[in-house]
Structure 1
């Protein structure tokens, strides 16, 4: 799943369409349909065809088969200018991801979904066998999705479960990078900046709250914490907030001393 960028104005246009919880699921189904129909996706993104022709084709294809909201999103997408049919399909999937996250935001669950996706990404990264299986281009998509579903089962929010299943499509990039892009989109929708925090030991709620307040003062606005526990940092904390990196770990200080000894 390549989240990527949308043509200018498409996000705002789609956000103006009255969607509901089923719209994202239907868009994902449309993406799967177009994935298997190269001629159709080329026709829907053909720059030599008029906007009316492309939107008319979309209506003839799916009118009456999907909800009015889904059809409206599709027709707005085919009206946009794309470099290729594959880019258009990726753009449609991006809208499905955004609508999934917006649905979680409407119900007040976007922070939970972000936390669950982040935790799932860390779990996969820490399991080389599982990560290797998800990267294996010859391993069936359905089998990959079953692996993820068994891992999370009914323990997570439905939006988390749906997005986790989408991230293992074989035509996509690695799982961790895709999850990272989804988390960036979630933070953007919530008006937050992401702070990637690495610590040697888990932080309790009080320390997390103090850290969040300090980082929000630094960032000048809301901050979403993504915490990773890594014993190799040997105490202290490492924080990446945008282009700024704040490091106060024993490992970092030892490395600094080592470099000074080498250069002295």
Structure 2
């Protein structure tokens, strides 16, 4: 299995314009742009033959090249990160079997999360894999607080007994009664925004139009479920909080996470 990581990055985010270039401070106080933080996280993953940044914006491309990243320019018409990965596929060459989409707003993604889904892809029946973290009570409360405030703090996923995704949502699923919030065994899983695809599955995705649920939720992975392509959810555990940079309010959380991991 020959695997490559693609980091899709666009400037024109509706919720957070210019997000890939937002500076984030590590434990030393040194600020690096989000795209560099994400690239450094990708470079720490084992079993990867190549890491590229896929973008349609020259500002992002220039910044990425400045710290040594390999950049592939992709069309502005890409609707999401998965389509951008498909658009960059031709630049990777035909020998890449598995493509990892490490989204550029998730610099706290530990290398083992990516390695866990690569391990799942050893099973040739798995065409798409993604990790999820069973939430702690404090994470559930933060997700619910964001939801109540009209913000998207993270994506949750409901999983069947085979380990495949039933549904992804920016709302907290399943519904959790207040009396059960502190139950450590609740099946409330925080989806971690990284995917591994087989080449053919990625090409099928790009050739298929978006579906209504994907557009309503703003979650690209729902297209796979609409296509009846199973998405294997790999359960992972972490001693640290894993949080994506979705809103300006997430900046302190991300920087605290970098500090707690002793990331420079």
| Greater gyration radius | 1
Greater helix share, 1 or 2?
Answer: 1
User: Normalising by structure 2, what TM-score?
Assistant: 0.29
User: Normalising by structure 1, what TM-score?
Assistant: 0.29
Structure with the larger RCO, 1 or 2 (CA within 8 Å, 6+ apart): 2
Greater strand share, 1 or 2?
Answer: 2
